[in-house]
Amino acid sequence: MARKQQVCDLADKVDRDLKLSGFPKAYDYWEASPSTIEGVLGGYGELSPIDIAGSTKFLAELKSLRPGLGCERAADCGAGIGRITRDFLLQHFDAVDMVEQSPKLLEAAPRFLGPLRDCVEYICMGLQDFCPPADTYDVIWVQWVVGHLTDVDFVKFLRRCRQALRPHGVLVLKDNCCSCDGSADAPDGTDNSCEDSGGNAGASSAFVLDSDDSSVARSVAYFRSLFKHADMDVVLQRREASIFPEEIFPVFYFALE
């Protein structure tokens, strides 16, 4: 009971801090960013090929564990201009639904996608309002965006996505984790330790608020507690093996069903 209360208290604090930091501020931050790879990656455009390569490797491992995973339709949540859609998802799925809250970024997507634009549906909506139809997606890819959701909205979003998955389908969350506590129980005995050269090793905070873009970085243990609240199971968890800049928190993948 004490553990549950601790999680609830943390959730209340995360939600309060995010609301105080202001959703409008986060919206304005991304509206003011250039509609380019450099812009949507917050000045780290050079990381895009490394990021795509890591995602491709994770998806390949996921497919080997789930031979029944389909390749018809995926959702790109927090899609921006379509970086992940163009360079990753459309290389593996027939069609992609891009879900993006910023009209400015979404309007830039067709030109960025080029000939692939015809394989895409565009949904201008925040994830807190996204209600996907049941039995629609083989994969729902959620990357570097849930830091803008309160815990309550995040859990509700996960529950809605769960019913939108096709048989054998998964939701993949790829995000920075401010601490790797609780990762020892990852599926398959994965080594997800937080030892790195970036000063983030051993961080013990359950969450860290970024006042620049009004987002929150959660710990591995905190994420996993929220997955349980959403009645979703982790089928595969990995830490990104590629080298990212020292100032960036470690990146983790979570495949959920």
Q: Strand, coil or helix: what is 213? A: coil
Q: H helices of 66-180, where?
A: 83-87, 103-113, 151-164
The strand ranges marked E within 19-109 are 73-77, 95-100
Please tell me whether 198 is known to bind a ligand.
no
The strand ranges marked E within the chain are 73-77, 95-100, 120-124, 137-143, 165-176, 207-210, 215-218, 234-239, 251-256
Question: Residue 253 in contact with residue 187, Cβ under 8 Å?
Answer: no
Length of the chain: 257
Q: Strand, coil or helix: what is 172? A: strand
Please tell me whether 18 is known to bind a ligand.
no
Give the C-alpha separation, 95 to 74, whole Å.
6
Nearest to 168 by CA among 91, 239, 70: 70
Please tell me whether 143 is known to bind a ligand.
yes
For 15-37, b/e burial (b = at least 16 CB within 10 A) is beebeebebeebeebbeebebeb
Please tell me whether 78 is known to bind a ligand.
yes
Nearest to 43 by CA among 250, 198, 251, 245: 245
Please tell me whether 62 is known to bind a ligand.
no
Give the C-alpha separation, 183 to 53, whole Å.
23
Question: Which residue positions form the known binding site?
Answer: 78, 83, 127-128, 143
Binding-site entries for S-adenosyl-L-methionine:
78, 83, 127-128, 143
